[in-house]
Amino acid sequence: MADVTTTDEFTAGPLTAGQVACLGAYITAIVLWTVAEYLNYNRSHAKKHQTHAHTEAAELEGKALLELNGGAAHVDVEASSVDAAAVQPSTPTPGIDAAGKANYAWTSSAFYRCLTLEEDALLASREALRSAVEFGTILVWFYVADRTQLIAPGTKTYTRDVLLFIFLVLTAVAGGYSLKQHRPLVLHRTQTEEWKGWMQVLFLLYHYYNAKEIYNAIRVFIAAYVWMTGFGNFSYYYRTADFGVGRFFQMMWRLNFLVLFCCLVLNNSYMLYYICPMHTLFTIMVYGALAIGSRYNKSDTAIWLKIAACFATVFVFWELKFVFYTIWRPFMFLVGYTDPRRPGGDRMYEWFFRSSLDRYIWIYGMMCAFMHPKIEKFLQAVDTMEVKRRRVTRAVLIGLFCSIGYAWYHFVYCLPKVEYNKVHPYTSWIPITVFFMLRNLTPQMRTFSMGLYGWLGCITLETYIGQFHTWLLSKRPDGQPIYLLTLLPGYPLLNFAVVTALYVALSHRLFLTTGTLKDAVVPHDDNRLLLRNGLMMVAVAGAAACFGFLMVEARTMLGVV
């Protein structure tokens, strides 16, 4: 088979402590979930019997009882609603003791009570346990696909025709069958999600087909994501002033939970998935910009000063390379990376390079969010102009943005990769601005968005991470995903269809399970509970790590390979 490579250089490496620890956690979750399902089955079974008995009794006594006492029906309803509560208990909350006060003792946590096989806790946590098992199972599949010899990888071939064909067909379907209408707001959430979605599709196809010729466009897309990080987060914090740690940690969980487990299970560096550290850092910086001295956020001058301070910070920490290196050196374990196919060299380079490319654009995103009302007012003023003037104004605007866009294309975009990267940090705001201004020019354009791309835009993090292990393959720790997952060798297009369906479905499930687990563990507004859960997680991780190290040690000592 021509499209399958030899497997000489593929290696999973020896099992690591992290992998053993995750396996231990996974097996524990399976056991607990099985018990929870069993208990639930028993209860609903018991309930069914009970309801049967109820119905029979009710039938025997018949209407007479109801006529005699109208309350009987009411009693019945109450009884069955109690049953229902037992079968499907509410989401786990901290133990509430008899006095009605919240109980923060470790032993009252759902986690501890599940471990001690307490029935109520297991039943109440059934959904979370199911999510944990599903999440773990998907990661096991990642390991099987990307680290074992079971799946032979295919190699990439680029055909511009195929890439464009796939993108156009998808866009036709998205535009023809998934148009959504909402209020004509400038850069409405559904619109930014749609934007993320179609960019993600091109970004992924770029990886799948190794389409080197659109490298510069991909850099712009990544800049647009980072722009949206600044835009979305600024809007949120500026409007809500919700600087609570609960919300902060929920966001950190969302950004890093999946990637953490991918790193552990596949023995990869965090930096292999560079989008995650980059968005995490810039999200924290937006948060910091607004949370520090938040009582001054009401003043426009203060906001502009903060934005200026952000530029100054970025200038000092990136533009002066030695400052960047000095600050990050202690965090090398987190941000260091070496491509195993090109060993040696500067382990910090990848982080410096990736974060440098988009170092300013998140600040521009904050500026756009801050000026959003003004941009909106301007566009609405154009909408309400008298017909002839409106047409002329719009024509002028279109002409203006198209000329700017073309000039950028000609002088910047067409540069070769290395030269392009040098100017990218200072120019990426141009195509982004041109795009969102043109995209929002008329109320009709603001009103519509493509739901299919919006849906894909919600799971970009999962499709980004998932592509490494269940669409593309890297086949070795820290390897770049240079192979293709090939389930139907010899049928590249059919294989693409099958593998893509699997990959998108799994990404969506990862998105949902990450959310369920987040809700089970990270409370939004109970900081004490958050602290307790955090400490418990540290303790559990510590115990799991010890277990992992001991197992690995034991194996080495016994000489098992």
Ligand X SMILES: *[C@@H]1O[C@H](CO)[C@@H](O)[C@H](O)[C@H]1NC(C)=O
Return the number of the residue (230 or 405) whose C-beta is nearest ligand X: 230
Among 153, 232, 336, 479, interactor with ligand X by CB under 6 A? 232
Q: Based on CB atoms, which residue is closest to ligand X, 232 or 477?
A: 232
- Token pair 């991780």 is found at 541
Identity of the amino acid at 310: C
Q: Total number of residues binding ligand X (CB under 6 A)?
A: 6
Tokens of 163: 């890439």
Phi, psi of 375 (to 5 degrees): -60, -45
Lookup: tokens for 376 = 């909106």
Give the residue with the Cβ less far from ligand X, 233 or 427: 233
3-state helix, strand, coil in the chain (%, to 5): 75, 5, 20
- Closer CB to ligand X, residue 265 or residue 285? 285
Tell me the CB-side half-sphere exposure of residue 195, using CA atoms within 13 A.
24
Which amino acid is located at 318 in the chain? W
What is the closest distance, in whole angstroms, from the C-beta atom of residue 185 to ligand X in the complex? Answer: 15
347 burial via Cβ count (<10 Å: 0-12, 13-18, 19+) = middle
Listed ranges 120-128, 231-239, 466-474, 534-542: which one lies at the site for ligand X (CB under 6 A): 231-239
Q: Which of 5, 191, 229, 467 binds ligand X (CB under 6 A)?
A: 229
Stretch of 65-73, 75-83, 205-213, 225-233 contacting ligand X, by CB under 6 A? 225-233
Query: Per rule CB under 6 A, is residue 409 in the interface with ligand X?
Result: no
Q: What are the CA-CA distances from residue 442 to residues 179, 395, 439, 538 (Å)?
A: 16, 12, 8, 52
User: What's the rounded Cα separation, in Å, for the pair 105 and 119?
Assistant: 19
In the numeric block, the tokens 């560079």 are attached to 274
Q: How far apart are CA 194 and CA 105, in angstroms?
A: 45
Nearer to ligand X, 394 or 439 (CB): 439
Site string for ligand X, 18-47 (x = CB under 6 A): ------------------------------
Q: Which is nearer to ligand X, 92 or 365 (CB)?
A: 365
Look up residue 96 and give its DSSP letter.
Answer: B
Q: How far apart are CA 229 and CA 265, in angstroms?
A: 28
- For residue 178, the minimal CB distance to ligand X (Å) is 21
HSE-up (13 A, CA, CB side) for residue 41: 6
Torsion of CA 474, 476, 480, 483, to 10 degrees: -30
Measured from the CB atom, the residue of 371 and 538 that comes closer to ligand X is 371
Q: How far is the CB of 265 from ligand X (least distance, A)?
A: 23
Q: Which stretch binds ligand X (CB under 6 A): 169-177, 228-236, 308-316, 532-540?
A: 228-236
Eight-class DSSP state of 94:
P
| Least distance to ligand X, CB of residue 291, Å | 13
Task: Supply 340's token pair.
Answer: 């195993």
Residue 515 beta carbon to ligand X: minimum distance, rounded to whole angstroms: 12
Closest distance to ligand X from the beta carbon of 225 (Å): 7
The residue among 91 and 240 lying less far from ligand X, judged by its C-beta, is 240
Q: Does 509 engage in binding with ligand X (CB under 6 A)? A: no
Footprint (CB under 6 A) of ligand X, residues 274-293: 279, 283
Minimum distance from residue 279 beta carbon to ligand X (Å): 4
Which lies closer to ligand X via its Cβ, residue 121 or residue 366?
A: 366
Give DSSP secondary structure letters for 267-336: T--GGGGTHHHHHHHHHHHHHHHHHTTGGGTT-HHHHHHHHHHHHHHHIIIIISHHHHHHHHGGGHHHH-
* Pairing verdict, β 153-155 and 483-485: antiparallel
- Written as six digits, the tokens of 482 are 């240079």
Q: Which of 16, 190, 233, 507 binds ligand X (CB under 6 A)?
A: 233
Nearer to ligand X, 277 or 431 (CB): 277
The nearer residue to ligand X, 226 or 521, going by C-beta atoms, is 226
Q: How far is the CB of 234 from ligand X (least distance, A)?
A: 9
Pick the piece of the chain touching ligand X (CB under 6 A) from 54-62, 86-94, 111-119, 230-238.
Answer: 230-238
Q: Using the minimum distance from each CB to ligand X, give the nearer residue, 219 or 475.
A: 219
* Among 280, 231, 273, 237, residue whose Cα is nearest residue 255: 280
Say whether residue 236 binds ligand X (CB under 6 A).
Answer: yes
By Cβ distance, which residue is nearest to ligand X? Answer: 232
- CA dihedral 81→86→90→93, nearest 10 degrees, is 140
267 versus 467: smaller Cβ distance to ligand X: 467
In sequence order, the 6+-apart residues with CB closer than 8 A to the CB of 8 are none
Interaction site with ligand X (CB under 6 A)? 229, 232-233, 236, 279, 283
